[in-house]
Amino acid sequence: MLGNWQVITREQELPMHSIPSPSSCPARVDVPDALAALARFITLRLGCERVQIDACQRLSGGAIQENWLIRARVLNGGLQADRRWVLRTDSPSSVAASMERSQEFAVLRAVHQAGVKVPEPLWLCQDATVLGRDFFLMQALGGSANGHRLSTDPELEPMRKGLCHELGASLARLHGITPDHPELGFLPTPAPDPVQASIDQYRHYLDALPGSHPVIEWGLRWCELNRPQPRPSRLIHRDYRTGNYMVEAGHLAGVLDWEFAGWGDPREDLGWFTARCWRFARPDREAGGVGALEDFLGGYQEESGYRPDRDELRYWQLMAHLRWAVVALQQVQRHLSGQQQSLELALTGRMVPELEQEILKLSGAPT
């Protein structure tokens, strides 16, 4: 099953851009070697006497961005308080994200203010003397984001209904953010027809890959011929799925990884979250492998007043499988071409036939 073959990497988006050459960038400093400078930066932001960083741990994942868990003590007036933050910055990757850290920080701040469950954004640093690159700090969350664990943990059984409702409601709050938001003017102007724009983009990147992929071409053409009327553009996450949010004690702690957010059709997020390819070990659980679709859509409708019908959702689930299939082909090609030798990227290619099977099924093609 697709859910048992997930290999999660961070390049979950189609555009691939080169990062600036090293000569054009300030000297990088590894985070563990910059703790003194980092402590001074946080001390100034807090306005306290001193911050003592006791531990710095690289978190798993993140080929485009590095995430570091910072454990510290805040000392002030003879009092001491323990704190946990996450530092997020660029990694030395051959592929750059579509959003700068200052822009991601602005998005995180906007969605936090809108009531979306996210880590609280704290401070942005663009002083190159600290790390040699931009970074920001956010509140650390507790819990787990492991998709296989969240889809199978028996302790979550009595809480799955409420968790799915929270996931739907939080996504609806995100989709309440409109393109006239005063802090998000840096995001590209929404396309007049986001559905066709996505189809064109997927086709463009597919055409750049070697070989022929008739099933994916079939799916793209089917979506083009059957595309629905677009809904007004809203801020969408573009990778809202199990594995990109934290769950603690059965509740949604926060949604992660906002570097690909932008304006688009909100149904794209709904299809991505509910697509079979992101249900991990429980493909029978339509809400991201963690619960019932009814509970997820109920939370979304309660907050937004909108609920897609089955045909709408099926269309956007097909779009999700098309996008993931193109990304999977891109990733395996990076491995085969020698651009980035990686077992993860190589294994991603093993998923393509199952993605293609789901594309045929969702489009109603004879199999």
26-139 matches 144-363 in fold: no
Q: What is the DSSP letter of 184?
A: -
**By 3-state DSSP, what share of the chain in percent is helix, strand and coil, each rounded to 5?**
45, 15, 40
Q: Which H or E element spans position 124?
A: strand 121-125
Q: Which of 331, 320, 330, 310 is nearest to 355 (CA)?
A: 320
**Residue owning tokens 């997930």:** 6
Contact 104, 259 (CB under 8 A): yes
What pLDDT, on the 0 to 100 scale, is given for residue 272?
98
CB count in 10 Å sphere of residue 314: 17
28 CB-contact burial (10 Å; exposed 0-12 / middle 13-18 / buried 19+): middle
How many whole angstroms separate alpha carbon 299 and alpha carbon 293? 10
pLDDT at residue 42 in the model: 98
Work out whether strand 251-255 and strand 135-139 pair parallel, antiparallel, or are unpaired.
unpaired
**CATH topology classification for 144-363:** Aminoglycoside 3'-phosphotransferase; Chain: A, domain 2 (3.90.1200)
The 10s digit of each residue's pLDDT in 82-135 is 999 999 998 765 344 468 999 999 999 999 999 999 999 999 999 999 999 999
Q: Is the dihedral of CA 342, 325, 255, 156 positive or negative?
A: negative
Identify the pLDDT of residue 338. 87
CATH number for the domain formed by residue range(s) 26-139:
3.30.200.20
Q: Enumerate the H helices of 3-93 as residue ranges.
A: 35-46
What is the rounded distance in angstroms from the CA atom of residue 347 to the CA atom of residue 250?
A: 31
pLDDT given at position 341: 82
Q: Give average pLDDT by consecutive 10-residue segment, the chain, 367 residues.
A: 38 41 58 95 97 93 80 95 96 60 97 98 96 96 97 98 98 98 96 94 96 96 96 96 97 95 97 97 98 98 97 97 96 87 86 96 87
- pLDDT computed for residue 265 by the predictor: 96
Domain residue limits, the chain: 26-139, 144-363
pLDDT at 6: 38
Per the rule left: phi > 0, alpha: psi between -120 and 50, beta: everything else, 55 is beta
pLDDT of amino acid 153: 97
